[in-house]
């Protein structure tokens, strides 16, 4: 009896707070999903219990895919995310490797500068950047965002990789150097293959950040054919004062799926990167 009450008390102590956090965290996604599956007649009927779904329909999804450029926006978003992630990983390695492995005058100053640049928020830069992109004639091209996203992603990847690189033992590289390999060969053939987990962490973060980016895309991409999902959804599915909530929720859900999928495959890497980034510095 006493043992039974103890177990019950423990279950309450665990599941009451955890359950509360789960419901708060997930309810908006549940609401997105059921809204996107309801027909308009059900959606805008105030006499029905809103939390339930009666007659699911894919109409909003079909409308979204056939009447808007949603597929094109998805393609643009993916293309931009993949290219800017790749650029950021390459440039990030070029910054992080010397900083992690070599001693030279100015190294710690550069490391601090890179960290500081990562912390510079976009609103400080967007006005001069908008002018710069216009003068370069890059307005309404994906190049504009592919060039500007790495301004946040490069320092970030470099910072994350720097932390990871420092945890890799140096013996293998030293052995390769003694065997006569140049620094470049040692880095490419011996060191980088050891760092796959670090690249996965940095890559997922960079990919998620580029999918999430809004301000630069909003300013640089004003034509529907070059828009990314977040900008397309905000600029074109909200038409004046008329809201197409079913389509909007379908778009929000579909737009979240790529990030959520990648995230679910690599969640351990993601959490490792998240905690190492701020815990270890």
Site for another protein in 126-155 (CB under 8 A): 126-132, 147-148, 150-151, 154-155
Instruction: Among 57, 140, 224, 256, indicate the residue that binds another protein (CB under 8 A).
Output: 256
User: How many Cβ atoms from other residues are within 10 Å of residue 190's Cβ?
Assistant: 17
Binding residues for another protein restricted to 26-65, rule: CB under 8 A? 26, 28-29, 31-32, 35, 43-44, 46, 50-51
Among 1, 3, 184, 242, binds another protein (CB under 8 A): 184
Total of chain residues touching another protein, rule CB under 8 A = 99
Q: 239: helix, coil or strand?
A: strand
Query: Is 245 an interacting residue with respect to another protein (CB under 8 A)?
Result: yes
What count of other Cβ atoms lies within 10 Å of the Cβ of residue 35? 21
Q: Does 243 bind another protein (CB under 8 A)?
A: yes
> Any contact of residue 105 with another protein (CB under 8 A)?
yes
Residue 4 or residue 128: which is nearer to another protein going by CB?
128
Answer whether 117's CB lies under 8 Å from 156's CB: no
Q: Considering the complex, what minimum distance in angstroms separates the CB of residue 76 from another protein?
A: 14
The stretch among 64-72, 164-172, 191-199, 230-238 that binds another protein (CB under 8 A) is 230-238
Regarding 233 and contact with another protein (CB under 8 A), the answer is yes
Residues 192-221 binding another protein (CB under 8 A) are 208, 211-212, 214-215, 218-219
Listed in sequence order, the DSSP H helices in 102-228 are: 107-119, 126-135, 142-148, 150-166, 171-178, 183-185, 196-212, 215-220
Q: Using the rule CB under 8 A, which residue among 6, 17, 56, 137 binds another protein?
A: 17
Among 57, 122, 141, 224, binds another protein (CB under 8 A): 122
- Footprint on residues 62-91 left by another protein (CB under 8 A): 91
172, 190 Cβ separation under 8 angstroms? yes
Candidate list 102, 193, 239, 240; residue touching another protein; CB under 8 A:
102
Tell me which DSSP letter residue 193 carries.
G
Cα separations in angstroms, 182 against 91, 99, 170, 174, 188: 20, 17, 15, 11, 10
Cα(152)–Cα(247) distance, integer angstroms:
31
CA distance 263 to 208: 8
Q: How far is the CB of 214 from another protein (least distance, A)?
A: 5
Give DSSP secondary structure letters for 161-175: HHHHHHTS-SHHHHH
Among 61, 70, 73, 97, binds another protein (CB under 8 A): 97
- Judge contact between 29 and 255, C-beta under 8 A: no
């Amino acid at each position: 009896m006493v043992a039974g009450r103890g177990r019950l008390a423990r279950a309450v102590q665990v599941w009451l707070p955890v359950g509360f956090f789960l419901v708060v965290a997930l309810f908006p996604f549940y609401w997105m999903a059921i809204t996107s599956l309801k027909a308009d007649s059900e959606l805008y009927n105030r006499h029905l219990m809103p939390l339930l779904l009666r007659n699911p329909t894919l109409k909003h999804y079909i409308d979204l895919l056939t009447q808007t450029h949603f597929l094109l926006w998805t393609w643009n978003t993916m293309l931009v995310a993949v290219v800017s992630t790749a650029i950021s990983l390459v440039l990030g390695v070029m910054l992080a490797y010397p900083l992690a492995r070599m001693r030279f005058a100015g190294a710690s100053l550069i490391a601090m500068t890179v960290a500081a640049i990562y912390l510079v928020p976009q609103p400080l830069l967007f006005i001069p950047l908008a002018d710069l992109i216009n003068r370069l004639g890059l307005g309404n091209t994906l190049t504009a965002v592919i060039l500007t996203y790495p301004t946040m992603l490069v320092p970030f990847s470099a910072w994350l990789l720097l932390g990871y690189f420092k945890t890799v033992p140096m013996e293998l590289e030293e052995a390769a150097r003694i065997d006569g390999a140049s620094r470049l060969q040692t880095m490419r053939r011996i060191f980088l293959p050891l760092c796959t987990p670090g690249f996965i962490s940095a890559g997922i973060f960079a990919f998620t950040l580029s999918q999430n980016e809004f301000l630069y895309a909003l300013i640089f991409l004003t034509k529907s054919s070059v828009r990314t999902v977040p900008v397309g959804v905000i600029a074109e599915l909200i038409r004046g004062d008329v809201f197409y909530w079913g389509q909007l929720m379908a778009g929000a859900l579909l737009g979240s799926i790529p990030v959520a999928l990648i995230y679910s495959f690599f969640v351990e890497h993601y959490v490792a990167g998240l905690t190492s980034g701020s815990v270890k510095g």
